[in-house]
Every structure is written in structure tokens, then in C-alpha cells.
Structure 1
């Protein structure tokens, strides 16, 4: 398989994750990860978790907090590992909307930073780190944030 052939399969994997998550099909979500996977959705969403079974349990507990969710993918950049055609990295923008059981809603603008591995002809998520860029409505959740360089003061900006 060529790198060009892999891109649709990787995009399909990432889309399937969102579909199954929003459907609350937790076993199908877990099946998209390698057995030895590692995830980190941030300190306020369970922190680092290792192994498919533990990731499944963490996702199940996290998603049980919501009546509904909607995960929308944006741009995704896939980088193949030159030394290993069965490994790739993907950085994918995500907007995740959540409806709590009490009807309140909030939204997170995220990046999934994934290390992917092809096993048995299928791409799976081997490592996932979630970085928050902007979160609307849940300031108490502790996130891993997208790193930003310090900004230079500008003359036309109002003082803070």
C-alpha cells in the first residue's frame, strides 16, 4: 500500500471514532485502538490511560456524563514515518459539542495528536493526546492546552 492509499483509510478511522463515540458504541470505539494504546485526554478528563481495556473504561465513564455528543472533524495532517510504512502521525482538529443530562451544553475546540499503527491491514490508534485550543462553558475542567508562543505587545491593543 502506498502513502496515498493510506490517507483515506486513516481519515476513515478518525471519522469512525467520532461516529461510534457519538452513538455511544463504546466497544466499537475501543476496537479502534491498539491493545497497548496510551491515551491522554487531559487531567480533567481522566489523564493518561494505558491499554485498550482501560481506555474503553475511561471513555465509557466520560461519555456516560452526557446525554448527547457531537464530534466534528476539521483539517487533518497525516505524516508517515519514513522508516516504517505501518506507522503514521495525525494531527486533527475537532469541535466537540456536549449536552449534559441536565440539558446544559458546552463545546471544546481540540486537537487530536495521534500516533497510528497498521495492524492486520487496518489502521488503529496507538497513542492519542488531546490538546484544547478553546473551551466554551466548562472552565473548571483542567486540560492539556495547545502550546502558544508569547505574543509581543502591540501598540493598538487595549491594555489588559
Structure 2
């Protein structure tokens, strides 16, 4: 049976992951920085991106996301293991992204693999990595 503290921790971590997704999708880099610790490392290499610090990752996202009219990070099926003031998590993500000029839809499926720490400001991501599940482009077809 979960204690009230464990329930609270899990809800806060779930909220943290939602804040991450909303920050990326709304391109709010200040909000994105707030979900991480100051010394966090983010590794997007499994999906073709860089590995770096949070400011480096924000700069990367700011440079590449304008090519997509929209993104929508859908996170689910979180497995969280809490050990005092640290935690690990593996979370499914589905991210459809329309390609410019009606070029179709890039569909990305991945797992976030995270290490979290409890800080004075609440739970924060100390490390975020990815495991690739799939990446496909669905071409737009026209009706005749």
C-alpha cells in the first residue's frame, strides 16, 4: 500500500512530466528550464538529437522546432521507483509533428528514461534520456 507521501511524490512527478511536455510544445524555454536541476544532463541522441546541458538543449530545441507547425508530446504509462529523495522513471511518449508544406506527419514514439531528485522547489529532472521505439513519416494523400 502506498503512503500519503508516496502518492504525493508520484502526483508531483506526473505533474513535472506534464510541465515538461507543455513547455516544449508551447516553446516556453524558461518553463522548460524549471523542470530540471541546474546541473541536469539531457540525452536526445536515441532520436537523432544532441546530448548536453539544459541551456544547450533549449538552444537546440529553439533552433529545430520552428520547422514543425506543431508538436504534441503525449506521455503515459509511467513507471516510477522512489527511494527517499531520488527516483527513477520510464515513461512512454508519443509525439506527432506535422511536417511543413503539407509534407505529412512525423510520428515519434519513445521512452523517456529519467533520474529525478527532490529539491527545495520539489521534484526535478537530474537526467533525461530516451529509448527509441519508432520514428515514421506518414505521407499526406489527396483524395481524387
2:92 corresponds in structure 1 to 93
| Alpha-carbon distance in structure 2 between the residues aligned to 1:115 and 1:55 | 17
1:35-74 equivalence runs, <5 A: 35-42=38-45, 45-50=48-53, 52-74=54-76
TM-score by length of 1: 0.76
- RMSD of Structure 2 on Structure 1 (CA): 1.8
Q: Contact 1:30/1:55 (CA < 8 Å) preserved in 2?
A: no
Tell me, which stretches of 5 or more residues in structure 1 are unaligned?
139-160
Partner in structure 1 of residue 79 of structure 2: 77
**CA apart distance, 1:27:** 1.9
Distance in 2 of aligned mates of 1:44 and 1:115: 19
Whole-Å separation in 2 of the counterparts to 1:120 and 1:103: 46
- 1:112 — aligned with what? 112
Q: Unpaired runs of 5+ in structure 2?
A: 139-144
CA distance in structure 1 between the partners assigned to 2:46 and 2:132 by the alignment: 12
4+ aligned runs moved over 4 Å, structure 1: none
The structure that has the greater radius of gyration is 1
